[in-house]
């Protein structure tokens, strides 16, 4: 009988053990569900504490944000992710990219989710700017920034600057510069657009592309000349001319230049010079 005591004690304790295990596990699970957003250590401190494993810590933080985001997919409430949770995710991704600023995935994730879903476009672009500085070979990050500025923030001038940056980088699709120049022109950044085309011309060997660029350069130089003439007019008469013919009538310009694409130059409502061809061949 005495030999059976240990067995009996173990059998009696076993249910207690199982109950306590499952209870603690369920508590723990509830805690995990609430945890979600918590404090993120500042990256300066993370850099010190992660010793030589900065990159690993960066991967870990990114996976943390990623799995948190994935965990919210089965939520039923709307909006699915609360504002503070988005802010927490931003902090995590920010720390991850401080530890490894070259890591593409956090930028990619931020761009995909902070813009459309969270409407935290400024934050997304702050992150992307960090990535764009580090990953100087990657045209995608400035392109994303340009798109966000254009589509969400409606800042064409800035958008065009980013797209121009993107176009300068290796393997950027050729349409990038076309986009950039058109945005620059619409955003009244004629000079930037001119410099940009001149730069691109230096690198372009293809004859057809060169001809397009040269025509566009010609138009932009005309636009710039007209804008400068308008400034002279403003200085003389204290107001902007109503149309370009006034500039000619007052002798500030000899003649109104012709648009090689077949459009006509005019003064837009915002006081900038534009052309009816919008820098495309006008089909009549």
Partner 1 sequence: MKPIFPVAVITFKEGIRNRAVYGIIILSLLMLTANFLICEIIMREVGKVAVDIALSTVSFSGLLLVLFVGINLMAKDLDKKTIYMVLARPISRTHYIVGKFLGMVALIIVSNVIQGCFAAASVFMLNSMYPAYFQRFSWMMFILALVFIVLSLTLLSALSFLFASITSTSFITLVLTVVSYLIGNSLSDVKALVEAPKAAGIDPSPVTIKVVQTAYYIFPNLSFFDIKIQAAHGLMLSFPFICWTTLYGLVYTAIIITLTCAIFAKREFP
Residues lying near partner 1 in the complex (CB under 8 A): 42, 44, 47-49, 51-56, 58-59, 63, 66-67, 100, 102-105, 108-109, 137
CB of 54 to partner 1, least distance (A): 7
Check: CB of residue 247 under 8 Å from CB of residue 229: yes
Residue 108 vs 152, nearer CB to partner 1: 108
CB of 167 to partner 1, least distance (A): 20
Residue 37 vs 63, nearer CB to partner 1: 63
Residue 12 vs 51, nearer CB to partner 1: 51
DSSP code at position 34: H
Spatial CA neighbour of 184 closest among 139, 209, 216: 216
CB of 73 to partner 1, least distance (A): 14
CB of 121 to partner 1, least distance (A): 21
* 240 HSE (CA, 13 A, CB side): 15
CB of 103 to partner 1, least distance (A): 6
CB of 104 to partner 1, least distance (A): 5
Residue 34 vs 52, nearer CB to partner 1: 52
Residue 135 vs 168, nearer CB to partner 1: 135
3-state secondary structure 211-251: HHHHHHHHHHHHHHHHHHHHHHHHHHHCCCCCCHHHHHHCC
Residue 52 vs 74, nearer CB to partner 1: 52
Question: For residue 199, with 0-12 CB atoms within 10 Å meaning exposed, 13-18 middle and 19 or more buried, which class applies?
Answer: middle
Tokens of 44: 């300066």
Spatial CA neighbour of 175 closest among 132, 137, 146: 146
Spatial CA neighbour of 226 closest among 171, 264, 173: 264
The rounded distance, in Å, linking the Cα atoms of 229 and 234 is 9
Residue 104 vs 201, nearer CB to partner 1: 104
- List all residues 6 or more positions away from 171 whose beta carbon is below 8 Å from its beta carbon: 139
Beta bridge partners of 265: 275
Exposure string (b/e) for 107-126, b if CB count within 10 Å is 16 or more?
bebbbebbbeebebbebbbe
CB of 80 to partner 1, least distance (A): 20
């Amino acid at each position: 009988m005495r030999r059976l005591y240990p067995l009996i004690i173990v059998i009696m304790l076993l249910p207690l053990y199982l109950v306590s295990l499952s209870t603690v596990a369920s508590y723990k699970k509830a805690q995990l569900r609430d945890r979600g957003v918590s404090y993120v250590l500042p990256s300066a401190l993370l850099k010190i504490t992660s010793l030589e494993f900065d990159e690993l810590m960066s991967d870990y933080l990114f996976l943390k944000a990623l799995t948190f985001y994935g965990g919210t997919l089965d939520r039923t409430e709307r909006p699915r992710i609360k504002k503070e949770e988005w802010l927490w995710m931003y902090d995590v991704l920010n720390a991850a990219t401080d530890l490894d600023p070259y890591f593409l995935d956090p930028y990619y994730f931020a761009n995909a989710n902070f813009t459309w879903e969270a409407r935290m476009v400024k934050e997304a672009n702050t992150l992307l700017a960090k990535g764009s500085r580090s990953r100087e070979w990657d045209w995608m990050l400035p392109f994303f920034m340009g798109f966000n500025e254009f589509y969400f923030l409606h800042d064409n001038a800035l958008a065009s600057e980013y797209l121009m940056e993107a176009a300068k980088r290796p393997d950027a699709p050729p349409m990038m510069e076309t986009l950039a120049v058109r945005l620059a022109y619409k955003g009244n950044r004629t000079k930037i657009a001119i410099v940009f085309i001149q730069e691109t011309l230096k690198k372009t060997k293809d004859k057809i592309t060169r001809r397009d660029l040269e025509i566009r350069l010609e138009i932009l130089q005309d636009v710039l000349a007209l804008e400068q003439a308008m400034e002279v007019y403003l200085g003389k008469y204290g107001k902007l001319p109503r149309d370009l013919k006034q500039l000619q009538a007052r002798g500030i310009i000899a003649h109104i230049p012709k648009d090689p694409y077949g459009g006509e130059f005019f003064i837009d409502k915002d006081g900038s010079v534009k052309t009816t061809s919008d820098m495309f061949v006008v089909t009549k």
